[in-house]
Structure 1
């Protein structure tokens, strides 16, 4: 299990950048600078989902595992940099964050019932000393109400994570992320966060279940470990 939770180095760098460069944020719904003198529009709100774990004070290690999976799911959100006011050209909004010669660009393309979000880096980042050349970092597709979407995170042109989320009519939130750990191996994690406080997580290396936990609205839960063939080998509760 410990090995399974240490495969997110690039994504953690992304989070460090987001926190380190974004100590002060503007409102997610930014105004749009229109040079034609018309009344300012509001740029689309950056999509954001928040999964939560069991409401419990238990120190059981499985609660920690569950919370770690959920934190990694939430790490798939578009980083909320302190962007300048958005500019608009036709159906494309552009937001910029500038720190020295390092520039983060977030574009939003409007479709009939959805948005396409792309984040790129350019220049040398002061925190990592990594130099980018208009490098694609994230691409996200979201519904206009932000209740569902999917996306990808890139490293050197390669997809290192894909993810998806959806909120149903009862406000139950579900989703998953897939980390590509090598050219031939990947790990899928599923998360369910119900409106009543209950939920479930699963870890599925190469789509074979290795771990599952479920919890009720009061925070109590059960867990299961599985062997490489998907057969349960251990279980317990907290």
Structure 2
């Protein structure tokens, strides 16, 4: 088996840790207080076959680790449910180089102080834009500082498609999660850039059977491809210059 390069290991480690609907109608289809990010109640985004997840086979472990990169997104969802006592308002929060959409007419904003005693302030902001809802998380490390964007997420009103940007500072996107539901099929993409090296992880899972596949792409070149069935058995291929260099199978 080809060893994962240092960059891939770093990514895997960080993942494991962790216009209106009508132009002339400014009234949302439902109250923003009733709007919720569909994944905010989930502890995991994607679930692999149980036998694959518990296997000690090297390749089954690797396939499961790719799936868990998607589940790392759930670590950011703790802020999508304001705690009791959060202050509610309607004035939008802005960052230095942010802007409010011209067609946007209503915001719901909750602010509170982090319960861990850090003194950090947190803001959760919801708004409606055309056929989607937008969810944003801002943080303020001290009262002397301005708000910093931490998370930007958007989702179609039926919850079938969405994306989430995680910011690493200076309102620069560090990593992006995007997804689409089509029946029982769930397509999930993780992408980002680190030290001028881009990566993309494409995960496809049947939510009913748990069968799926994953492709790992670095600098626009396919590096790994893995597929597994409902039982968790699978096959893998390692690519060099677009051609299969090594391949094999695993059983759980």
Q: TM-score of the superposition, structure 1-length normalised?
A: 0.76
Shift in CA distance, 115/41, structure 1 to aligned 2, threshold 3 Å: closer
Cα offsets for 1:107-149 (capped at 9, x unmatched): 011124211111111125xxxxxx9741111111111232210
| Other-structure match for 2:68 | 71
> 1:188 deviation in Å?
0.4
- Do the aligned partners of residues 62 and 8 (structure 1) sit closer, same or farther apart at CA in structure 2, a change above 3 Å counting? closer
Distance 1:64 1:103, change over 3 A: same
Match of 1:7 in 2: 11
1:55 partnered with 2:50: yes
- Deviation by residue 1:84-117 (Cα, 9 ceiling, x = unmatched): 3573536212233422421111101112421111
**Distance of 1:73 and 1:212 partners within structure 2:** 16
Following TM superposition, by how much is the alpha carbon of 1:211 offset from its aligned partner in structure 2, in angstroms?
A: 0.5
Matched, 1:151 2:149: no
Secondary structure of the structure 2 residue equivalent to 1:139: strand
1:189-213 Cα offsets, whole Å, 9 max, x none, are 0101113221001100012111111
**Aligned to 1:217, what secondary structure does the other structure show?**
coil
Checking the alignment, whether the CA contact within 8 Å between 1:102 and 1:122 is kept in structure 2 is: yes
Show the counterpart of 1:22. none
TM-score by length of structure 2 reads: 0.72
- Is 1:225 matched with 2:220? no
Contact 1:200 1:214 in 2 (8 A): yes
Contact 1:192 1:199 in 2 (8 A): yes
Aligned counterpart in structure 2 of residue 92 of structure 1, from 92, 107, 125: 107
1:46 aligns with 37
Matched pairs, number:
204
After TM superposition, the structure 1 = structure 2 runs for residues 157-176 of structure 1, keeping only pairs within 5 Å, are 157=170, 158-168=172-182, 170-176=183-189
1:127 aligned residue: none
Taking only aligned residues, the RMSD between alpha carbons, in angstroms, comes to 2.6
SS in 2 for 1:196: coil
- Which consecutive segments of 4 or more residues in structure 1 shift more than 6 A? 8-13
Shift of 1:221: 0.7
Alignment partner for residue 111 of structure 1, among 118, 129, 134? 129
Give 1 or 2: higher helix fraction: 2
Shift of 1:231: 1.1
The CA deviation string for residues 1-60 of structure 1, in whole angstroms up to 9 with x for no partner, is 1521313787778x4xxxxxxxxxxxxxxxxxxxxxxxx974311231711223324311
The gaps in structure 2 that reach 5 residues or longer are 19-30, 91-104
Which 5+ residue runs of structure 1 have no aligned equivalent?
Answer: 16-39, 125-130
- Judged with a 3 Å threshold, the aligned counterparts in structure 2 of structure 1 residues 122 and 225 are, in CA distance, closer, same or farther, namely same
Take 1:74 and 1:215, find their aligned partners in 2: how far apart are those partners?
A: 18
Deviates more, 1:54-63 or 1:147-156: 54-63
